[in-house]
Amino acid sequence: MTDAANTSVRVILPAHLRALAKIQGEIRVDIPGEVTQRAVLDAVEAEFPMLLGTIRDRSTAKRRPFVRFYACEEDLSHEEPDALLPERVVHGEEPFLVIGAMAGG
């Protein structure tokens, strides 16, 4: 959903971060300007400041090693933070997913 000022982006967080933010299900964040990974994560952290440092390192702002970003069945984890997200995310047809990477046996 897009209006003149903001784009509303759907975001799905992993269960641990939903518990930390005391939310259930998918969230929406409003993005002013270009819809990039950085803009979405900035908006998520602004609305849920308890998530600061849990997705991106606080000092470097880099993705934490065991966190991945998916959308439209693609792994966007290694995209540049300022690369535009897929149109289907911008138009609200697909969510931006934050994933705890599979690790362990």
Partner 1 sequence: MASTRVLVGTRKGAFRLISDEGRTEWTVDGPHFPGWEIYHVKGSPLNPDRIYASQTSGWFGQVIQRSDDGGASWDTVGNDFSYQGEVGEHQWYDGSLRPWNFTRVWHLEPSLHDAETVYAGVEDAALFKSTDGGHQWTELAGLRQHDTGPQWQPGAGGMCLHTVLQHPTDPERLYVAISAAGAFRTADGGRSWQPINKGLRSGEIPDQDSEVGHCVHRIDMHPSYPDVIYMQKHWDVMRTKDAGDTWHEVSGNLPSDFGFPIAVHAHEPETVYVVPISSDSHHFPPEGKLRAYRSRTGGEEWEPLTTGLPQQHCYVNVLRDAMAVDQHESCGVYFGTTGGQVYASNDSGDTWAPIVHDLPAVLSVEVQTLP
Q: Which residues contact 63 (CB under 8 A, 6 or more apart)?
A: 55, 56, 57, 69, 77
CA nearest neighbour of 31 among 79, 78, 91, 80: 91
Tell me if 84 contacts partner 1 by CB under 8 A: no
Span from 1-9, 35-43, 64-72, 74-82 in contact with partner 1 (CB under 8 A): 64-72
Residues contacting partner 1: total by CB under 8 A: 19
Instruction: Please say which residue, 14 or 92, places its beta carbon nearer to partner 1.
Output: 14
- Shortest Cβ 48–partner 1 spacing (Å): 10
